[in-house]
Amino acid sequence: MPRSPRVGVLLAATVLLLATATGCDGDVGPGHSEAAPATDTGASASSSDGGTARLAAAAQKLDWKPCPAPARSEDSSAGRPPGRDWECATLRAPLDYAHPDADTIGIAMIRAKATDQAHRIGSLIFNFGGPGGSGITTLPAFADDYRTLRSRYDLVSFDPRGVGRSSGVTCLGDRQLDAYYAADATPTGQDEERSLVGRIDQYATACQKNSGKILPHVGTTNAARDMDLMRHVLGDAKLHYFGISYGTELGGIYAHLFPKNVGRALLDAVVDPSSDPVQSALAQAGGFQLALGNYMAACVKTSDNCPTEQQITGLLDRLGKDPVPGGSGRDLTQSLATSGIAQSLYSKDFWDYLTEGVEDAENGDGKILLALGDSMNGRGQDGKYSSLQASLNAITCADFAQRYTAAEIEGKVPEFRKASPVFGEFMAWSLLQCTGWPVKGEWQTPDVSAKGSAPVLVVGNTGDPATPYEGARKMVQELGPGVGVEMTYRGEGHGAYDSGNACVKSAVDAYLLEGTVPEAHKICS
Strand segments, DSSP code E, in 22-79 are: 28-29, 65-66
CA 69, 75, 80 angle in degrees (round to 5)? 20
Helix/strand/coil percentages in the chain, nearest 5: 45, 15, 40
Catalytic residue among 75, 268, 464, 498: 464
Is 245 catalytic? The answer is yes
d(CA 269, CA 461): 7
Q: Which residues fall within 8 angstroms of residue 132, CB to CB, at 6 or more apart? A: 7, 9, 163, 378, 387, 388, 389, 390, 391, 392, 395
Task: State the sign of the Cα–Cα–Cα–Cα dihedral 129, 148, 122, 516.
Answer: negative
Of the candidates 245, 275, 280, 499, the residue annotated as catalytic is 245
- E strand or H helix at 90: strand 87-94
464 given a catalytic annotation = yes
For the purposes of burial, counting CB atoms within 10 Å of the CB of 311, is it exposed (0-12), middle (13-18) or buried (19 or more)?
middle
Of 32, 217, 240, 494, catalytic: 494
Between CA 63 and CA 462 the distance in angstroms is 42
What is the Cα–Cα distance from 270 to 468, expressed in whole angstroms? 8
Taking CA atoms, 278 is separated from 287, 416, 429, in Å, by 14, 10, 10
Cβ burial of 189 (10 Å; 0-12, 13-18, 19+) is exposed
Task: Tell me the DSSP string of 310-321.
Answer: HHHHHHHHHHHH
Instruction: Give the DSSP H or E segment for 393.
Output: helix 388-399
Rounded to an integer, what distance in angstroms lies between the CA atom of residue 417 and that of residue 413? 6
Name the E strands within 159-252. 239-245
Query: Residue type for 243, please?
Result: G
Backbone angles phi, psi at 192, to 5 degrees: -70, -35
| Burial of 316 (C-beta count, 10 Å sphere; 0-12/13-18/19+) | buried
Element of type H or E holding 94: strand 87-94
| Residues annotated catalytic, as ranges | 245, 464, 494
